[in-house]
Structure 1
Amino acid sequence: MYALVDCNNFFVSCERVVNPKLEGKPVVILSNNDGCIVARSNEVKKLSVPMGAPYFKWKEYLQRHNVRVFSSNYLLYGDMSGRVMETLETCLPNISIYSIDEAFADVSGVKDIQSLVEETKQIVTQWTGIPVSIGVGPTKTLAKAANELAKKHAEHNGILIFETAEAAVPYFSNIPVQDLWGVGRAFGEKLPRLGIHTTEDLLKKNDVWIKKELGTPGLSLVHELRGIESTSLDHHSDMRKSVIRSRSFGTRITEKKDIIDALTYFADRAAKMLRDEDLRTHVIRPFFMTSQFSPERYYASKTIALDEATNDSRMLIQHAIDVVEKTFKPGFHYAKAGIVCTDIVDDAHYQKSLFSSERIEDTAVMNAYDAIKQKYGPYSINIGRTSEDKNWHMKRNLLSTPERKNISSVPTALCK
């Protein structure tokens, strides 16, 4: 049996923790550079504002309905996510973090699952201020389906448990097939053309038809809905296949030094993610580009196969700088840059080059680098030009509070 804990409207809930006056008010959170709506409170959902809508198209409408609008505050959300996950680890067995606001727990063998998840829901909200919904089922797909129903239908009070796969069947006629975990855009467009509109419709098909029309991933999905645990679902894979760090700039930039600054920052972030997950990369592709809508377009990139897999920030940064030095062209207004890391391998099992230049001291340097950032903040120490105040950083003109790397933003309390 699996339990899925999902934070409700997570980004909005985080903003409400630091500003309780937002409780009950309509709130939206915007994406990078304040471009699109990426999180909505329940009050905004009732206004029929779609997820992913361009902010500039809905700005006037949101103003008319007194909707509070905020830029994404990723440090806040990351910190709150850490608090939620740490709390879950004290409440539930065998926690597996799935995303910034979701985690699975293996509750097989728990005698009173209802009491356990009710207590977990209460503790998480009490300790962190973040409301959560919990779904339980004999497979992860059924747990996900239970969670979605618990979240959307108030009569479940945020908790729904499927003791068996058969217990979920009465709900399947109300679950659009596009809402199923593992159904992406391709399946979501194909299934209605085949007459499959609900989960109930899908389960009426036999395995031969499913394998023919949807392949092995579709068959694995249906097996999970029937209560047969599958290990072949793509979203159950433990090790990532790539790491991408990129962003559109807050303003167009024209100087080579700014491109170098940006790629240095992104390469450092990519290497940090690899180290955090005990991974290394064999292949990297730094790139920078103008807007696709620019009358004069230019795209620069280079794929580099490394002699030896690495997660050293200095190595990735040096290769990224080399690409800029060799491919930069003046006269263009650049809109985006980034780095893609592929051919990912486990840090514990990667094969060293015969002429390896890596030293034990290199790993120690990166460990010390990460430890300083962890203790004193993400901008306390930097490699090269990876500083925070650059004109290429994304626009976030609607931040609710200063990011909490700034000591002045820490709340103070007066005790009498």
Structure 2
Amino acid sequence: MFALVDCNNFYASCEKLFDPRLAGVPVVVLSNNDGCVVARSAEVKALGIPMGVPWFRIREQARRHGIVAFSSNYALYADMSNRVVEVLAQFSPDIEVYSIDESFLDVAGFEGTGLAEYGRQIRERVQRWLGLTVCVGIAPTKTLAKLANHCAKKNLAGAAGVCDFTIMPPADLDALLTRIDVGEVWGVGRKLTPRLQAMGIGTVRDLRDADAETLRARFSVVLERTLRELRGTSCLALEEVVPDKQQIICSRSFGERVHDLEALQEAVASYLSRAAEKLRQQGSLAGALTVYIRTSPFNPSEPRYQKAVTVPLPEATADSRLLARWGRRILKQIYRPGFAYQKAGVMLSDIRPRLRNQLSLFSSSRATRENARLMQTLDRINARWGRGTLRLAAEGLDKEWQMKRGHLSPGYTTEWAGLPTVKAR
């Protein structure tokens, strides 16, 4: 038995949480470089402003309606997400953190309380302790729990924030699933929806009642598994341990166009330093490195160029210095002068566990251990005093290429300087 807890309008809600003046005010959160709308408060949704629209296109509309824009404050969102999970852990010891604003809970054994009532308790405590609104969907499978959460958010069938499929009469559930488009099913998405509709499968109920063998033959065993989940057979277990990433990608669009090689080298070194930190966090090493650069694909007045090169490393590593050195070599290969570069990125692949790595014939085990200790020290200092306290000289100091965040809110929960000030009279 599963409950899916999903924070409503999470990014926008985090921004409104610490500023009482924003109560009832329409709020949007912008993507990197303040480019597009990636999160909307309920007030903005009511105005009909779509997700993904470029900020410059709605700036005048935003002024008319008093919309307040914020740059993405990832540190704030991650911290609030962790706090939500800490509250949820009081309701179930078995939790899968599915995304920054969604978590699955195993609620088997709590039926005696009444699962709908249990969901309301979850919703009430998160609201009271953190000030965030969540919706709860309860069902015997994860796919159905996602749908139940959708119903809770849309207030279908009088859900009002909590929807429990387990207490719904079969006829009522059939009627509800008939009203929901098949594209809302977890894992179906935009690509499969037109193909399913062409087969006469337009609603969730249509998919649930379709022939399993036909779907498996035309699509895959994955869609057949989705069908069985819709029928109440649990095929997806709770993933309490997040599997190690097999690829680690770090890329950013630049705040302004970059022309010279030196600035690109600083950006690539910075991205590799962050990717290496993630690699060490999961106790892994990377055996291959990809570096890519590109100009803007959307500006016809600028000449276009993009290039990516992947190289196998002589020895798998998580050492930021070695990765930055190889990144510099690759970048020299692919860089072409005369272009206005808009984005660069790196990818670590061929990832393997550090403890199972085999040294090459000419490797020094002592040097390897010392390098690992140095990286551990680097990570500890940055964890305590803030990322970037210690960094590679190759990352540069005056990073003009960094992404723009002109509407960034304070680090209310992650920085002493960001704490709200209260004045008593």
Using structure 2 for the length normalisation, give the TM-score: 0.89
Stretch deviating more after TM superposition (69-78 or 326-335) = 326-335
Counterpart in the other structure of 1:398: 407
Counterpart in the other structure of 2:318: 311
Q: Determine whether 1:297 maps to 2:304.
A: yes
Stretch deviating more after TM superposition (208-217 or 84-93) = 84-93
Contact 1:177 1:183 in 2 (8 A): yes
Contact 1:81 1:100 in 2 (8 A): yes
- What is the CA–CA distance in structure 1 between the aligned matches of 2:167 and 2:397, rounded to whole Å? 51
Q: Determine whether 1:251 maps to 2:256.
A: yes
Counterpart in the other structure of 2:124: 122
Counterpart in the other structure of 1:382: 391
Counterpart in the other structure of 2:166: 163
- What is the CA–CA distance in structure 2 between the aligned matches of 1:334 and 1:131, rounded to whole Å? 41
106 and 41 in structure 1: CA distance in 2 versus 1, 3 angstrom threshold: same
88 and 357 in structure 1: CA distance in 2 versus 1, 3 angstrom threshold: farther
- What is the CA–CA distance in structure 1 between the aligned matches of 2:147 and 2:253, rounded to whole Å? 34
Counterpart in the other structure of 1:38: 38
Residues 288-328 of structure 1, C-alpha deviations (whole Å, 9 max, x = no match): 12222353222233201123433332232221112123332
126 and 347 in structure 1: CA distance in 2 versus 1, 3 angstrom threshold: farther
Counterpart in the other structure of 2:369: 360
Determine which of 369, 377, 380 is the counterpart of 2:378: 369
Question: What's the secondary structure of 1:343's corresponding residue?
Answer: strand
208 and 405 in structure 1: CA distance in 2 versus 1, 3 angstrom threshold: closer
Stretch deviating more after TM superposition (324-333 or 390-399) = 324-333
Contact 1:242 1:343 in 2 (8 A): yes
Q: Cα distance, 1:159 vs. partner?
A: 1.2
Stretch deviating more after TM superposition (219-228 or 188-197) = 188-197
- What is the CA–CA distance in structure 2 between the aligned matches of 1:146 and 1:354, rounded to whole Å? 57
Contact 2:315 2:360 in 1 (8 A): yes
Contact 1:75 1:403 in 2 (8 A): no
Q: Determine whether 1:335 maps to 2:345.
A: no
Question: What's the secondary structure of 1:133's corresponding residue?
Answer: strand
- What is the CA–CA distance in structure 2 between the aligned matches of 1:64 and 1:413, rounded to whole Å? 31
Number of aligned positions between the proteins: 415
Counterpart in the other structure of 1:189: 194
Q: Cα distance, 1:366 vs. partner?
A: 2.0
Question: What's the secondary structure of 1:300's corresponding residue?
Answer: strand
Contact 1:241 1:344 in 2 (8 A): yes
Stretch deviating more after TM superposition (387-396 or 6-15) = 387-396
Residues 343-367 of structure 1, C-alpha deviations (whole Å, 9 max, x = no match): 3334454455454456222222222
Stretch deviating more after TM superposition (398-407 or 149-158) = 398-407
Stretch deviating more after TM superposition (269-278 or 130-139) = 269-278
Q: Cα distance, 1:102 vs. partner?
A: 1.2
- What is the CA–CA distance in structure 1 between the aligned matches of 2:407 and 2:68, rounded to whole Å? 10
User: Residue type matched to 1:100 in 2?
Assistant: I
Counterpart in the other structure of 1:411: 420
Q: Determine whether 1:320 maps to 2:327.
A: yes
Q: Determine whether 1:78 maps to 2:94.
A: no
Stretch deviating more after TM superposition (155-164 or 179-188) = 155-164
Question: What's the secondary structure of 1:302's corresponding residue?
Answer: strand
Q: Cα distance, 1:135 vs. partner?
A: 1.2
Q: Cα distance, 1:195 vs. partner?
A: 2.1
Structure 1: 5+ residue stretches without partners: none
Counterpart in the other structure of 1:288: 293
Q: Cα distance, 1:30 vs. partner?
A: 0.9
- What is the CA–CA distance in structure 2 between the aligned matches of 1:122 and 1:312, rounded to whole Å? 45
- What is the CA–CA distance in structure 1 between the aligned matches of 2:358 and 2:319, rounded to whole Å? 16
- What is the CA–CA distance in structure 2 between the aligned matches of 1:318 and 1:403, rounded to whole Å? 36
Counterpart in the other structure of 2:151: 149
- What is the CA–CA distance in structure 2 between the aligned matches of 1:357 and 1:175, rounded to whole Å? 61
Stretch deviating more after TM superposition (276-285 or 313-322) = 276-285
User: Residue type matched to 1:343 in 2?
Assistant: D
Q: Cα distance, 1:69 vs. partner?
A: 1.6
233 and 376 in structure 1: CA distance in 2 versus 1, 3 angstrom threshold: closer
Stretch deviating more after TM superposition (257-266 or 83-92) = 83-92
- What is the CA–CA distance in structure 2 between the aligned matches of 1:355 and 1:124, rounded to whole Å? 55
User: Residue type matched to 1:262 in 2?
Assistant: A
Contact 1:246 1:266 in 2 (8 A): yes
348 and 224 in structure 1: CA distance in 2 versus 1, 3 angstrom threshold: farther
User: Residue type matched to 1:318 in 2?
Assistant: R
User: Residue type matched to 1:374 in 2?
Assistant: A
Contact 1:377 1:405 in 2 (8 A): no
Contact 1:165 1:225 in 2 (8 A): no
Contact 1:165 1:227 in 2 (8 A): no
Contact 2:208 2:228 in 1 (8 A): no
Q: Cα distance, 1:411 vs. partner?
A: 2.6
58 and 250 in structure 1: CA distance in 2 versus 1, 3 angstrom threshold: same
Counterpart in the other structure of 2:108: 108
What is the aligned-residue RMSD (CA, Å)? Answer: 2.7
- What is the CA–CA distance in structure 2 between the aligned matches of 1:237 and 1:209, rounded to whole Å? 33
62 and 40 in structure 1: CA distance in 2 versus 1, 3 angstrom threshold: same
Stretch deviating more after TM superposition (243-252 or 343-352) = 343-352
Q: Cα distance, 1:386 vs. partner?
A: 3.5
Question: What's the secondary structure of 1:50's corresponding residue?
Answer: coil
Contact 1:378 1:405 in 2 (8 A): no
Question: What's the secondary structure of 2:125's corresponding residue?
Answer: helix
Contact 2:79 2:413 in 1 (8 A): no
Identity in percent: 38
Contact 2:75 2:411 in 1 (8 A): no
Stretch deviating more after TM superposition (248-257 or 155-164) = 155-164
Contact 1:3 1:137 in 2 (8 A): yes
231 and 282 in structure 1: CA distance in 2 versus 1, 3 angstrom threshold: farther
User: Residue type matched to 2:91 in 1?
Assistant: C
